[in-house]
Amino acid sequence: MDLIVRTLGNAAGLWLAVALLDGMVVPGTPSLALTLFNLLVVGLILALVNSLIKPVAKVVAFPLYVVTFGLFALVVNGAMLVLTSWITDVLAGVSPGTGMTLGLHVASFGTAIVGSLIVSIASAIIVGLLGPNQR
């Protein structure tokens, strides 16, 4: 259940980031249904990247977190978004004959940092509203 809620939150945040930023693009989505499916797939990949790879990156970068008083988290979040973009670009080449293009393109690392900030805020709101009630 937690992965589903995080996927929905990430998809909503990615939609908002793509709408607000010129450097983030969801390629080849001619209809609303295909756009939503693409955002859900990219949101799932981002949730998996954040669950599996981000904890390792946080441990490795712990000294930088301390020196920058936690601001290095923005860089790590941007790197996770760039990694998600790269993974979806690789997956898009798996089945080009389906007529649907999966993926997310991020133009620069600065765009990834701003985009990850937008995705994080929107995802936190969605997960807070839809997530399990822990009292």
As given in the structure block, the two tokens for residue 82 are: 């760039």
Q: Is the pTM of this model over 0.75?
A: yes
For residue 91, count CB atoms less than 10 angstroms from its CB and return exposed for 0-12, middle for 13-18, buried for 19 or more: middle
Q: What is the pLDDT of residues 30-71, one digit of tens each?
A: 788 888 888 999 999 999 999 999 999 999 999 999 999 999
Cα 104 to its chain centre, rounded Å, is: 9
- Lowest-confidence pick of 21-30, 57-66, 107-116: 21-30
**Cα–Cα distances in Å, from 114 out to 87, 90, 101, 110, 120?**
19, 23, 24, 6, 10
**What is d(CA 102, CA 88) in angstroms, rounded to the nearest whole number?**
7
